[in-house]
Amino acid sequence: MINTSELEKEYKELLMKNNSRNSMELLQKAYRFIHEEYAPMGGTTTADIANTENSLNEILLSYYMERGIPSIARDALNITNMVGNTNFFFTIQPKSDDTGIEIVKRGITAQETPVKSVSVTLEALQDMFSVHGLDGIKLIANFLRDKANAEENQTFINFLSSNALVKNPLTFTEPQNSELIHFELSKRIQQYVFEMNMKHQRTFEAFAIVPYITCGAVSGLDYINSIVSDQQHKLDNTPIISTYRVAREILTDYYINPDINDDYVYVALRSRLNPACSCGIFGAYQESIRTAVAYETAEQKIFLFNRYGIVLNPAHSQNDPMIIKFKLNNM
């Protein structure tokens, strides 16, 4: 993986020495600083830079991996790095006849996801490098990360929806009263967290994904609990920044549902310290970026390949759930 901080430092030094932000040769020299063998030999042109594929691939991937804004699935679930495309989730649970305990497992397979891509014309690439330098590559990497997050979010919502135990809908007493909405919603969510711990005390840490229309009532919690939340996340080494997390109440993180047409609330158990008590596991497998040039248009094609899997805790069942969902009636 390229050390992009060193790359940026060298690039800025070159800019200061030459005092020219539009010099494409500076960007080429910065590439050589990292990968001498990949840099074009001879005269340096914009086309040479655009087609320095191996360097561009690795720099893009470095910025893509460095961006600290994960999808909901990566932020809410425990992550395991898969060596191969298959793995297993093991946990211990009581036998159905209460005669002892047993080890149960469920397989996780990294699925082939749709390839994400972006096309950049040669002129746009020239302008991007001339005006923004290495920050232009960051813009492309951030765009790809956003596309990957959107796909992972939808997969995760589908996973929760298909496995959750359905409960009775919640009808708010006063739909226009934000304080009452917050009270009734958080009460119902915590009720289900406790309920999922009645048979077996697993964990009182949880997360809830709520429709965007109710987030105004919930997000006010963020100011009150931000200090406690940050301290907790420093203790368990979890990310603090999330585009979708709007609040944290007690041990429950609240996320906004990016699907504006989904009016369900999803409540699920998760434990940062003990994955066996979490509703599922996110299996990260491979993320790679490849570039190519379209011979007909000379456009730079950038492709993101992202393979991962999400597996349900084998201890989850409709009689002993770890995921619950309920509908909001009058929002």
- CATH number, domain with residue 287: 3.90.1690
Asked whether the predicted pLDDT for residue 213 surpasses 90, the reply is: no
- Structure letter (DSSP) for residue 84: S
Task: Dump pLDDT digits (tens) for 112-138.
Answer: 777 777 888 878 877 777 777 777 778
Tally the C-alpha atoms within 13 A of residue 227's C-alpha that lie toward its C-beta: 1
Alpha-carbon distances, residue 297 vs 120, 160, 234, 288, 293 (angstroms): 10, 43, 49, 24, 8
Q: Which domain holds residue 64?
A: 4-327
More confident residue, 234 or 157: 157
Residue 34 has a pLDDT of 40
Per-residue pLDDT, 204: 86
By the 8 A CB rule, do 226 and 245 touch?
no
| Of residues 273 and 57, more confidently modeled | 273
Residue 83 has pLDDT above 50, yes or no: yes
CA 220 to chain centroid, in Å, comes to: 23
Going from the C-alpha of 111 to that of each of 77, 132, 305, 307, the distances in angstroms are 17, 36, 11, 6
Residue 92 scores a pLDDT above 60: yes
Number of domains the chain is built from: 1
Spatial separation of the C-alpha atoms in residues 103 and 92, rounded to whole Å: 5
Q: What is the pLDDT of residue 157?
A: 95
Mean of the per-residue pLDDT values of the chain: 75
Question: Residue 56: its pLDDT value, please?
Answer: 67
Give 113's DSSP letter.
P
Cα gap 235→59, rounded to integer Å: 32
Task: Decide: 25 and 44 in contact? Cβ < 8 Å.
Answer: yes
- pLDDT exceeds cutoff 80 at 69: no
